[in-house]
Amino acid sequence: MEEFPVRVLFFKSRDCVFCEPVERMVRKAISRLFRNELVTLNVFDVDEHNELIDEYKIKSLPCVIVDEVPVISGMANEKEVEEALMKGVLHGASYRAERLEVGAKQVFIEANLNFVKSINSKERIRINIGDYVHISNLQLATISLLSLDATAGNLLYSIGKLAGKTGAFTGLLYDIAPSLGDPYTSIEKNFRNFLIAIERFHIKQNELGVFDARNAEVMEEDKDYGRIRIYESAAATGVPVIGEPICYFTAGMISGLAEAILGETVHVAERNCWGLGASYCEFELSLSKGELERRKTAIHAKKGIEAREESFSRLIKTLTRNMSQSVLEGRRIRVGISDYTHIMNLQQQVTSIKLADPVAGFFLKLAGKRLGRIIAPRERLSVKEAILELKNYMNSPLSLMSGIHSNCNIERNDGERFMVTIESCAFASGQENIGVSLCEFETGIIEGFMEQSTGQSFSSREVECWGLGQQHCAFQVEKERFS
Quick one: pLDDT at residue 33? Answer: 86
In this prediction, residue 73 has a pLDDT band, given cuts at 50, 70 and 90, of very high
Q: What is the mean pLDDT of residues 442-449?
A: 96
- Spell out the domains of the chain, with CATH numbers in brackets: 6-95 (3.40.30.10), 151-303 (3.90.1520.10), 315-479 (3.30.1380.20)
pLDDT tens, 327-362? 999 999 999 999 999 999 999 899 888 888 888 889
Quick one: pLDDT at residue 404? Answer: 97
pLDDT tens, 393-435? 999 999 999 999 999 999 987 778 999 999 999 999 999 898 9
65-79, 295-309, 450-464 — most confident range:
450-464
Q: What is the mean pLDDT of residues 219-239?
A: 93
Residues 6 or more apart in contact with residue 342 via CB below 8 angstroms:
115, 118, 131, 132, 133, 209, 210, 211, 212
pLDDT tens, 204-228? 888 888 899 999 999 998 888 999 9
Rounded distance between C-alpha atoms, residue 302 and residue 313, angstroms: 19
Asked if pLDDT for residue 483 goes beyond 50, the answer is no
Phi, psi dihedrals of residue 74, rounded to the nearest 5°:
90, -165
Prior bond of 377 cis (ω within 30°): no
Quick one: pLDDT at residue 36? Answer: 60
Handedness of CA 108, 284, 178, 210 (dihedral sign): positive
Q: What is the mean pLDDT of residues 5-19?
A: 91
How is the beta sheet containing 39-45 ordered, strand by strand?
39-45, 6-12, 63-66, 69-73
Rounded distance between C-alpha atoms, residue 474 and residue 483, angstroms: 24
Rounded distance between C-alpha atoms, residue 163 and residue 161, angstroms: 5
pLDDT tens, 26-60? 999 998 888 766 788 999 999 888 878 888 888 89
In Å, what is the CA distance from 234 to each residue of 282, 382, 423, 461, 471? 14, 39, 24, 29, 27
The residue among 52 and 81 whose pLDDT is bigger is 81
Q: What is the mean pLDDT of residues 371-380?
A: 91
Coil vs helix vs strand at 266: coil
Spell out where 205-279 has E strands. 215-222, 225-231, 267-272
Quick one: pLDDT at residue 282? Answer: 97
Q: Are 369 and 448 in contact (CB under 8 A)?
A: yes
pTM for this predicted structure = 0.90
Asked if pLDDT for residue 167 goes beyond 80, the answer is no
Residue among 197, 194, 205 nearest 169 (CA): 205
Asked if pLDDT for residue 478 goes beyond 70, the answer is yes
Task: Identify the helix (H) or strand (E) that includes residue 175.
Answer: helix 169-176
Asked if pLDDT for residue 94 goes beyond 80, the answer is no
Quick one: pLDDT at residue 67? Answer: 78
Asked if pLDDT for residue 480 goes beyond 90, the answer is no
In this prediction, residue 1 has a pLDDT band, given cuts at 50, 70 and 90, of very low
Asked if pLDDT for residue 196 goes beyond 80, the answer is yes
Q: What is the mean pLDDT of residues 71-92?
A: 88
Calculate the average pLDDT of the chain.
88
In Å, what is the CA distance from 454 to each residue of 318, 373, 375, 461, 481? 25, 11, 13, 18, 14
